[in-house]
Amino acid sequence: MNAIAPLGPTAVPISPYLGDVCVLGLGATGRAVATYLLELGPTRVRSVTVVGGKKSQEGPLAQELRDAGACVLVGTEDLLGTYDLAVVSPGISEFSDFFANAKAHAHEVIGEPEFAWRESPERWIGITGTNGKTTTTSLACELLKSSGIGAVAVGNIGTNVVTQIAERDPQTWFVAELSSFQLATTSKLHPRVACLLNVTPDHGEWHKTFENYLAAKEKIFANLDEGDLAILDVDDPHCAALARQLDDRGLVVCRVSASQIPDSPCRAYVDDGLLVVELIGERYELVAVSDLRIEGPHNVANGLAASAAALFAGASVKGVRQGLKAFAPLEHRIEPVATIDGVRYINDSKATNTDAVVTALRAFEPGRVILLAGGHDKGGQLDEFVDAIKASCKATVTYGEASDRFFEALSGQGLATLLQAPHMAEALTIAKNLAVPGDVVLLSPACSSYDEFSGFEERGRRFKELVLTLDLDQPGH
């Protein structure tokens, strides 16, 4: 397969002169963008103003940016003056008053990935989806590296893209995990490979409607042309419908499926237990499903999508095979913690919605799972969640703020064992006492963690501490 033709001269910004720029938000993204702008100098930037938002406060960061030359406003969402550009942090909804203020005072309002792409537009792979995008982003990056190709995982995965631009080698790929928040504020973003894994209702508080959420996800394909690759998992009905629309645009569309062989000249699928990718007339036989260290049909699909992206970007078959075999589960994503007395303990703390739990349950033998579910309730529909638990779980222990609603939905459904606990630690104690050799104790909460923890990361690490220390008789929380 031929190498992809470049978009244009490497590292030449789309907008050489930026003028007066306002940055919304004083968190990690705001700091990264403001710092980048201040380092550009007066030939490209006339002024940098940072507006922290109502909850922002004076502190070392505000003073650091002032010392570097920025005007910093804290405790407010009010913008003063007129700006050529506003760069908004992803936590600020496009339907918020703060965002509206920016639109009223700036000629254009964009997010950090859009800004970063304009600054360094070459060699981008964009990956999004309600679930699985972090694993797929990390894996695609590793497959490129295994082939001797420079790659950096950036975006929603935790690394602001602007922090990587200055040191980026011209041949290095940005493999960008893009959230719906980030995609909603794009207009010119043009990855050479764009991937949509799945779309299920999420983040209603930010997008207001599912239609807005879906539209944000679809923007990842907005600027693709016939020289690019669109990758969609057609086991998801929204993705399957969108694939047909992209066909009508004349794009090259790779259909991914872990359950069937798509009827398409460009596809990625499983054939007799083997991962196969077909791109532009070439067939690549990769590794057996059993060779993967990441479990479950959803991770087979993630592996297929990542392989298609990497191969299109120039990865070798040998490198992809090596990378697929070596890639280990990411922390908090169906992560094996330990096997104790024949019982496997799995940390899936990243499962913050019911769809992620449904996916996780498919990775294990039906009837052997003891599920720990609970936390801060997002209030989503529970029908598929209940059906999946009925089909897969030996027992379920609900806990936290969501415990009563989950317990009520599962009661009367014929479950052999359904119990409640006040907190995650007590739920784990119950699960340990129920488990016998061959069982799986799965933390897959279906909720955010803010009733008990600072985030899913703290929740997952606490779970692992409890498992590894076996301090289960006197659990803390």
Binding residue positions for ATP: 129-135
DSSP states along 34-65? HHHHHHH-TTTEEEEEEE-BTT---SHHHHHH
Closest by CA to 261, choosing from 247, 276, 243, 250, is 276
Token reading at 366? 């039906």
Please give the distance of CA 341 from its chain centroid, rounded to a whole number: 34
Closest by CA to 37, choosing from 98, 116, 102, 94, is 116
Residues 6+ apart with CB under 8 A from 74: 26, 52, 56, 57, 58, 62
Query: Whose structure tokens read 């699909």?
Result: 301
Say whether 443 sits in a helix, a strand or coil.
strand
**What span, in angstroms and rounded, lies between the C-alpha atoms of 198 and 205?**
19
**What span, in angstroms and rounded, lies between the C-alpha atoms of 432 and 439?**
10
- Contact of 268 with 278, CB cutoff 8 Å: yes
DSSP H helix total and E strand total for the chain? 17, 20
**What span, in angstroms and rounded, lies between the C-alpha atoms of 279 and 315?**
13
Instruction: Name the binding residues.
Output: 129-135
**What span, in angstroms and rounded, lies between the C-alpha atoms of 96 and 100?**
6
Cα dihedral: 246, 250, 251, 253 (round 10): 60
Q: 105-131 b/e with 16+ CB inside 10 Å = b?
A: bbeebbbbbbbbbbbbbbbbbbbbbbb
**What span, in angstroms and rounded, lies between the C-alpha atoms of 298 and 131?**
9
